[in-house]
Structures are given as structure tokens and as C-alpha cells.
Amino acid sequence: MEMKVRKAAFAGRFYPDDTKSIHAYMEHFLENEQSKIKMLPANSAIIGGVVPHAGIMYSGYEAVHFYEIVRRSRQRFDTVVIVNPNHTGNGIGIYNTATYSLWETPLGTLENDTDFQDALNLPAYNLAHDFEHSGEVQLPFIQHFFDFQYKIVMITMNVQHVDSAKILAEKLIDASRRTGKKMLLIASSDFNHYDSFQTGYTKDRYVIDEILKNNPEGVYSAVKKHQVSACGFGPIMTLLYVSSLLSTNPSITLLRQGHSGEVHPSEKVVDYASFIATCDQ
């Protein structure tokens, strides 16, 4: 059987194209943020998180919080599911997986979890992923920080709505139960785009407040009412629905909030925030 490989499309653009530089960036983020990374309570089970997907030189400071917390927790997951928005418009229907067997980065390959993906029964359409950065940017972090055996499933969310998020959450829970695989869910999203820091911060807080209340409908309303250009609000809502399906009292924690102007000063910035979703074990 032929192994179809999705080659790295954004190495050298959103993250370095050589192993040494990728690891150096990861260690730089970790060293810079080490003292601010939160420790989970001993009885916390990780459900997933929200992680940004800009060029890692910009949003790695937020992303590293989630990945290092997972690493420190020593919790193990069979399947890492990445749900990301569709920036290209290349997609069929509401969501798309892909038919690739392997996903390649300069750090090596990650294996697609075909059993889990088959259980999801979502339409596969490779073009939805071929030129999409928001899933791929997560892969070097996963490879650097996760030292357990896992496979991945990549899902591009073409339609971001309350209903599509709720249905996807139900499908993810069902696939996890049917396959007997423990899932870690990563919602890939940046926050407000191309406003001043002050304007973006104000807009983002409307959405962040609803995330912290685990209120997916509130997230959708805040995005629409306040015109918040958070590109992955659909994946975020999906994570919140999954959290509520897995626990009657999930906890959503804001890990770090920042913006591109902290790295490259500008009047117009892109905002980033990372979160972790947990429940009692």
C-alpha cells in the first residue's frame, strides 16, 4: 500500500526549515516563559487546548505554555486531533480530513490515525490541507514536546458555526469511544487581527470571557457582535463542546495572552492567546 506523505508546506516561512533551528526556537520560548508556565493540579485530566498558529517567532511564546504543560503532566494520549480553520477557501462541505498516511516536517513524520479518522466519517479532501498553515504549524511543537507514542488527525473546519462545532464535538467523542483511544484536542486559532493593541485587547476580552465560562454560544455571539477577527472561533467552540460532553464541570484556563507587536513593534497587530481545558480525573 502506497504511503501518501503530506510534505511540509510552510517550513522556512512559518517556522524554520532545519531541525537545529526548530529545537533552538522551542528552547528559547521555554526559557523565556518557564517561570510563567502554570502547573496543573494533581487531579486534573487534560482535554485539550487553544493554541495560536502564526509564525512561531510571533506566537510561540503563547503556544509553548500549552505544550509544556502537557509534557510536564506526563499524561499520555493515543490520538492528537488538530481542528483548524480554513484560510484558503479550498474545502468541500463543513469539515475535511485528508488521505495522507504521514505528515512531514523537518523533524520527521507524524502518522495519521486512520482508525480514528475512519470512525469520524468526515469527507477527506487533501486540497483543504495542502496550502493551509494553521494545522501544520502545530506539528513541530507536538514533535518537540510530546515524548509518548501518538498518532494525529487533522481536521479543517470550513464552516464555523455553533451547529457545526457541536456536531463535530459529538463526532469526536463518539470516535474516541468507538476506537477506545484517548484523545487530545487542539483548537488552532489566533485572535483579533490588524487593529491597535488597545482595540484588539478590548475585542478579545469579549471572546476570552466567554471561553473562560465554557460558553461556546457566547463565543459565537461575541465574535459576531463585536466583530472580533479570531480566525479559529469554530475550533474553539468545538473544544468547549467537547469539554462539556466529557465533564459536568470542566475548567478552562487562560495561559498566556500577547500580540505580534511584542516581537515586531507595529501600530496594527495580531493577537494571540493560549488556553488549556481540563476536568477532574
Q: What is the average per-residue pLDDT within 221-230?
A: 97
Q: Say if CB 155 and CB 123 are below 8 A apart.
A: no
Per-residue pLDDT reduced to its tens digit, 73-126: 999 999 999 999 999 999 999 999 999 999 999 999 999 999 999 999 999 999
Query: For residue 148, what is its C-alpha cell?
Result: 509518548
Q: Can you give the pTM of this predicted structure? A: 0.97
**Quick one: pLDDT band at residue 1, thresholds 50, 70, 90?**
low
Q: What is the average per-residue pLDDT within 14-43?
A: 96
**Quick one: pLDDT band at residue 13, thresholds 50, 70, 90?**
very high
Helices (H) and strands (E) in the chain, counts: 10, 11
Range list of H helices, the chain:
19-33, 56-73, 114-120, 127-130, 133-136, 139-145, 162-179, 197-212, 216-225, 233-246
Per-residue pLDDT reduced to its tens digit, 35-71: 999 988 888 999 999 999 999 999 999 999 999 999 9
Handedness of CA 218, 223, 224, 225 (dihedral sign): positive
Q: Say if CB 233 and CB 223 are below 8 A apart.
A: yes
Per-residue pLDDT reduced to its tens digit, 145-186: 999 999 999 999 999 999 999 999 999 999 999 999 999 999
Tell me: pLDDT of 194 over 80. yes
**Extents of the domains making up the chain:** 5-280
> Which amino acid does the sequence have at 125?
Y
> Which amino acid does the sequence have at 144?
H
Query: For residue 127, what is its C-alpha cell?
Result: 486540497
pLDDT of residue 39: 87
Class assignment of domain 5-280? alpha beta
Percent with pLDDT over 70 in the chain: 100
